[in-house]
Amino acid sequence: MAQRDYYDIDDILAGQERVPCLLRVDLDGLGTAGSGTSKVQRNQRWALPYWMGERLDTEGFIEMSTPAVFSKRANRMYAASATSMQLRAVSPHYYKFGLQLADIVPGLPAVLRSMYMERVQKIAQISQQGQNVEGLEFVQSLDRTETLVLQKCQAAQGAIAEWQHGAAYKLNKAGVF
Amino acid sequence: MSITHRQQEGFTLPELEFLAQSEPITIVPLYRMERIELVGGPIGPFRPPQKTSVPLWLAVQLKQASRCRIVAPNWLSADHLQKLVRKEEQPYSRFTRLPTHYLEIAHILLTCAEDDLIEPQNIRRLLQDLREVRQGKVRQGLALLNPLQLQMDNLSAAEVNEIRPVFRHSFDMLRQLEALERAATAQQHETQPMEDMADDPFNSSSFYPSM
């Protein structure tokens, strides 16, 4: 079972991502104004957030299927060019969502691992070389987990440089004054 | 706890500098003193111009009060550093041997005892080069990461501190992914009929992490 922290904001946001679901029962009273009736027939496709979909799936009301983000086609595409993927456009919570879905999508952990390892190396490389133009584009395509890693890298680098220039001890006047 | 995020992830560099100051260093005292007993150990006696070994914190204090001259450690010379840089730059080499606190000691000496070092500008430049080459190697080590073990010998304290947040995050991620993979393969083997297991008694894929 994937580790999910109940109070972690990122886990909550990641669980909000949509998952395609197939309705197994007839529902009364949930029809929208546009469809004309108040009944919702079974075997209709809905996109529900994962946290809702998972509960309803265990109760048997719906059947979840793999979202497009982790489909076989998508995984092949990502594996082909891991470092040039625009993960933020795909889903800003790619890794966290993937960790939550790993139970129902077979082979997902391997995909996530190869993506993560390749991209993390590029992140480390960029943060050591300082900002430049191609780096900027890559940085903008990172998802939230990777942005966190980048910030940690840069903070660590910056700390050593700052200390070597003697600025680590400095007390600066706050900008408010 | 009321400490900043940066403090939570490891040492701050001023803290590492403080820890480095208990390393011994050779000085030439400029005044005479009898032996004194401190909690950390005895100091002295000072008989100028004989060299003595004292902890770095005391050397810094005496230097700032102009009561001693510091003898640069033999690894902090332009020649030795040049040799180390050349050795590091060789492909597929391990990290060269350096004192655990070399960055901090070098910083302290370059700040307060510059006149006791030969060619301090050169030393600064070479230290920077050394650091860059080692960082490149650390990045290669990142590529070889697995959730069980990663061995990188001869990394100094400040360098370990620098990579700690990133490696910790990567280790966590890999560990979670591996646990999920192992759960998935265990489930797969449960649903297989028992004859399959009997045919291959050495099928150990469910016991070892699939790499």
Note whether B179 and B200 are within 8 A (CB).
no
Q: What's the domain range around A119?
A: 69-164
The C-alpha of B34 sits at a distance from chain A's nearest C-alpha, in angstroms, of 35
Count CB pairs under 8 A between chains A and B.
Answer: 85
User: Which of B13, B145, B176 lies closest to A3 in CB terms?
Assistant: B176
Look at residue A10 and tell me if it is in a domain.
Answer: no
> pLDDT digit of tens for each residue in chain B (211 aa)?
677 777 777 888 889 999 999 999 999 999 999 999 999 889 979 998 899 999 999 999 999 999 999 999 989 988 999 999 998 888 877 888 889 999 999 999 998 888 888 888 999 999 999 998 898 888 888 877 776 777 788 889 999 998 888 888 888 888 888 888 888 888 777 766 554 444 444 544 444 444 4
Look at residue A102 and tell me if it is in a domain.
Answer: yes
Look at residue A120 and tell me if it is in a domain.
Answer: yes
> Which residues of chain B from 191 to 210 reach within 8 Å of chain A, CB to CB?
210
Tell me whether residues B173 and A116 touch, CB distance under 8 A: yes
Look at residue A37 and tell me if it is in a domain.
Answer: no
Look at residue A62 and tell me if it is in a domain.
Answer: no
Contacts of A113 in chain B (CB under 8 A): 174, 177
Contacts of B107 in chain A (CB under 8 A): 163-164
Look at residue A73 and tell me if it is in a domain.
Answer: yes
pTM recorded for the entire structure:
0.79
Number of structural domains in chain A: 1
Does ipTM top 0.90?
A: no
Look at residue A127 and tell me if it is in a domain.
Answer: yes
Query: Which residue of B134, B171, B180, B187 to mutate against A (max A Cβ within 10 Å)?
Result: B180
Note whether B120 and B114 are within 8 A (CB).
yes
Look at residue A6 and tell me if it is in a domain.
Answer: no
Any idea what the CATH number is for the domain that residue A76 is in?
1.20.58.2050
